[in-house]
Amino acid sequence: MISQELQKRIFSSFILIPLVIFFVYQGSILFLIFLTIIFLATSYEWFKMCKKNDILKLLGIAFLLFSFYAAFEFRESENYKDFLFTITVCIFTDTGGYIFGKIFKGPKLTKISPKKTYTGVLGSFLFPLILGLVAYQYQYTDEIPADGFYFLFIVLLISLISQIGDLIISYFKRKAKIKDTGNILPGHGGLLDRIDGMIFVFPFCYIITISGNLI
């Protein structure tokens, strides 16, 4: 029996995924407008979460601004398929953790995020690893190198950064004594809840891009 929360997640995903694909595919001005809207929404959620800590508010906004700038540059400098693949790795990371955590449960990972388990972490690495193997086999991205081990290492590194980003946002949510950063996305919470890992992955991908070592 599918839980009500999972039903909401599936429903909102059916709306979000085509929307994201459309704007990423379009690129340029439309993609910039899309990123600006998300930046404003996540900045608002961050402001609410930080309450009276003005320094933390400003640091968070500065980081979000850099992250979305990195996302735009990453998309514009590379083929849109590479950008979508990176987002998919982050989604598979979340999905793997959620499914493995629900099915296998097990010891809790940290008090920062009480629902996270060690088995969930395993799923968070396993799902994107399988995705990477499939992508390498069928050349879904344009810049896959001949060295498959290097490619899979980058995939797992993206997954790791995404999980760390998730924990960082969870830490601030716990400090603020809130479960979600918002309620705009049924089953997910706020926008920041949905892209908490991605906002840390984008700067990483941008740095790889400008260094000329993109996967």
Cα-based distances in Å from 22 to 8, 75, 76, 109, 142: 22, 13, 15, 36, 19
Q: Which residues make Cβ contacts (< 8 Å) with residue 215, sequence separation at least 6?
A: 82, 141, 143, 144, 145, 150, 151, 154, 155, 208
C-alpha 175/C-alpha 196 separation (Å) is 16
pLDDT digits (tens, 9 = 90+) for 75-131: 988 778 889 999 999 999 999 998 898 888 888 888 788 778 899 999 999 999 999
Name the nearest CA neighbour of 74 among 12, 134, 24, 13: 24
C-alpha 93/C-alpha 89 separation (Å) is 6
| pLDDT for residue 214 | 46
| pLDDT for residue 215 | 47
C-alpha 20/C-alpha 80 separation (Å) is 11
Q: Which residue has the tokens 């001005």?
A: 29
| pLDDT for residue 145 | 58
Residue bearing the bigger pLDDT, 57 or 10: 57
Tell me the pLDDT band of 53, cut-offs 50, 70 and 90.
Answer: confident
Q: Is the pLDDT of residue 20 over 70?
A: yes
Dihedral sign of CA atoms 164, 169, 170, 176 in order? positive
Mean pLDDT value of segment 40-58: 90
Name the nearest CA neighbour of 35 among 65, 78, 80, 14: 65
Name the nearest CA neighbour of 201 among 140, 171, 159, 170: 159
Mean pLDDT value of segment 56-80: 92
Dihedral sign of CA atoms 7, 89, 193, 22 in order? negative
Crossing angle of the two packed helices 80-104 and 4-26, in degrees rounded to 10: 170
Give the start-to-end residue ranges of the domains of the chain. 4-211
| pLDDT for residue 71 | 95
Cα-based distances in Å from 127 to 74, 89, 91, 133, 184: 24, 8, 9, 10, 27
Q: Is the pLDDT of residue 144 over 50?
A: yes
Q: Is the pLDDT of residue 212 over 70?
A: no
Mean pLDDT of the chain: 86
Q: Is the pLDDT of residue 73 over 50?
A: yes
Q: Is the pLDDT of residue 132 over 70?
A: yes
| pLDDT for residue 56 | 92
Tell me the pLDDT band of 2, cut-offs 50, 70 and 90.
Answer: low
Mean pLDDT value of segment 61-88: 91
